[in-house]
Amino acid sequence: MNVAKQKTVITGAGAPLRFSAMGVTAIVLFFAGLIAFAVTDEWIFLIPAPVILYLQWMLKDIRAAYLLLMAAVPLSIHEEFLNNSYSLSLPSEPMIILFATIGVLFLVAKPQSIEKKFLLNPVTWIILLQLVWIPLTILTSEVPLLSLKFLLAKSWYLLCFFVFPVWILRSKRDFAAVFICWLIPLLAYMIIILIKHAMLEFAFSSVDAAIGNLFYKHVDYASVISMFFPFVWAAWALSKNKKSIYRTLLFATLLFFVLSIVLSFTRAAMGGVVFGLIMVACIRLRKVNWVLPAFYAVSLGLVFYFAKDNQFLKYRPHFQETYMRHEFEDHLKATIQGKDMSSVERLYRWIAALRMGADRPLTGFGPHSFYFQYKPYTLSSYRTYVSENYERSTTHNYFLLMLVEQGVPAMVLYAVLMLAAFGRIQYVYHRLKDPFYRTLLLAIGWALGIFFVNNLFSELIETDKIGPMFYLCLSMLVITERLGAENDTSRLPHKGL
């Protein structure tokens, strides 16, 4: 007998109540978890019951369950369990693992469900090469268990947010549904943060206090809302034929995003919005393929210039003058003068990262290894008040993180991925005529431009909200490119779940 079809009947007054085997399992796990919570005060034991119920829902309506995941990602909060020895982003991470598992099973059972056009897309190929390279770096890793954990997390992110949308996003209505599922919870958090920030008089020094535990730090908050901003613009741009109240609400939402980005007081997010607009203009003018190569060339030139004869030592900061300012205007001035603590601390770690890269250029020190290995490579002349690094943060530059942890090949693959993404956006944009998908492509390009700048000063792909956004953008790009080859650009032939 099929276990999934077994029923337990509980009789009583009126009609009998029927529970599936999974429903009974969820009830048992709930009460067992309740007892464990009462004994240990660790509410991680309460998680299995809702996971089982969610799995049951997935098996009945996987599209609706996926849309719920889309709403859960922006709502997720990072939680520590078991004396801080284990962490989860809740409620999204258990849901992500379930979808990744189902994705693997579905790929094994129906490999033909992934069309050749998706597999042959250069963006897909580069992502696969990135994934294949990681196990090779684990072989020489200084922290193999942490590196293996990194590989698992990377794999389920790719399955859930790059591969799974191929089965879910089949029409314009599906794209709109994903947009709404992200927008509503994100707006709710933004309103809460704005109110709390207003109570703190919108002080620059109070941004993190206003954000609380809704986001890891103000940089993450600013990155998320700035990356989502282009999609709000796209919704507004496509609403010309909608009711005036709908268009007015979208315009008000657009202005609210602008206000929130400004009040996040995050330099990279603001600069990213401008850079993203430049990329949009370049896409429309067919010039995008020149931007990143020029940027890479200038960056390499600067590295060689400052490395030659240790030129960078001439610009070392004065320790006593390098500290965090409490006003945003002073913060910007200190950045220009080379006296801002966060900027100098980045240089402190970038120098260490380059020296580490020179030591192990091929496979690096292994994923998740930077924090445990970088201190011997630092220079005391660039040390700041926060160089003890109690928060265990890493390079604050994704290119250098790839260099240190996975070697030159990984750094090059990331650089090529960004080149390929912008190149494909431009290519597909000028092939399509449908205004919906053309506008969507511009929004994706703008969002990736914002991401690119933010990721220059942080490492965001593996974070719980920005990573999903990044891979969703790439997945939507590949899906939209496939749509362009169809006679009817409004809907794909259904080969999904």
> What is the pLDDT at residue 55?
78
| pLDDT given at position 426 | 96
At 303 the pLDDT is: 84
- Asked if pLDDT for residue 83 goes beyond 80, the answer is no
Per-residue pLDDT tens over the stretch 434-460: 999 999 999 999 999 999 999 998 888
In angstroms, what CA-CA distances link 92 with 62, 105, 192, 212?
15, 20, 20, 19
In this structure, the answer to whether residues 235 and 120 fall within a common structural domain is yes
> CB under 8 Å to 107, separation ≥6 — which residues?
113, 114, 163
Residue pair 405/428 in contact (Cβ under 8 Å)? The answer is no
Q: Looking at the structure, tell me whether residues 357 and 217 fall in a common domain.
A: yes
Cβ count within 10 A of residue 3: 8
> Which of these ranges, 184-188, 198-202, 391-395, has the smallest mean pLDDT?
391-395
Say what the pLDDT of residue 364 is.
96
Nearest in space to 82 (alpha carbons), one of 135, 36, 114: 36
Same domain, 305 and 223: yes
Predicted pLDDT of residue 116: 83
- Residue ending a domain, among 32, 56, 80, is 56
Same domain flag for 7 and 137: no
Let me know whether 181 and 301 are in one domain.
yes
Q: Does 91 reside within a domain?
A: no
* pTM, to two decimals: 0.88
- Residue 8 belongs to what domain range? 1-56
Identify the pLDDT of residue 9: 40
Whether residue 70 is contained in a domain is answered as no
User: Average pLDDT of 382-396?
Assistant: 83
Residue 184 clears pLDDT 90, i.e. is over it:
yes
490 near 434, Cβ under 8 Å?
yes
Same domain, yes or no: 46 and 161? no
Give percent of the chain with pLDDT exceeding 90.
Answer: 54
Helix axes 144-158, 92-109, angle to 10 degrees: 70
Outline where 143-237 has alpha helix (H): 144-158, 165-168, 172-199, 207-211, 218-237
Digit-coded pLDDT (tens) for 341-373: 777 888 889 999 999 999 999 999 999 999 999
The tally of domains found in the chain comes to: 2
Q: 109 in a domain, yes or no? A: no
The DSSP letter of residue 90 is E
Q: Are 172 and 41 part of one and the same domain? A: no
Residue 7 has a pLDDT of 43
Distance from C-alpha of 145 to C-alpha of 421, rounded to nearest angstrom: 32
Same domain, 41 and 123: no
Q: How many CB atoms lie within 10 A of CB 223?
A: 30
Give the number of other CB atoms < 10 A from CB of residue 171.
13
Structure tokens given for 73: 């990602």
Whether residue 121 sits in one domain with residue 26: no
Cα separation, 147 vs 139, in Å, equals: 9
- Of 14-28, 341-355, 388-402, least confident by mean pLDDT is 14-28
Q: Out of 32-46, 130-144, 418-432, 466-480, pick the least confident.
A: 32-46
Nearest to 356 by CA among 336, 372, 334, 373: 373
Residue 103 belongs to a domain: no
Buried b (16+ CB within 10 A) or exposed e, 422-449: bbbbbbbbeebeeebbbbbbbbbbbbbb
Residue carrying structure tokens 């994705």:
103
Residues whose CB falls within 8 Å of the CB of residue 419, separated by 6 or more in sequence, listed in order: 289, 292, 293
Domain assignment present for 439: yes
The answer to whether residue 105 sits within a structural domain is no
Tokens of residue 33, six digits? 């978890």
Write the DSSP assignment of 52-87 as a string of letters: HHHHHHHHH-HHHHHHHHHHHHHH-EEEEETTTTEE
Contacts of 212 (CB under 8 A, 6+ apart): 196
The predicted-structure confidence for 255-307, as pLDDT tens digits, reads as follows 999 999 999 999 999 999 999 999 999 999 999 999 999 999 998 888 888 77
Domain assignment present for residue 5? The answer is yes
- Using a pLDDT cut of 70, give the percent of the chain over it: 80
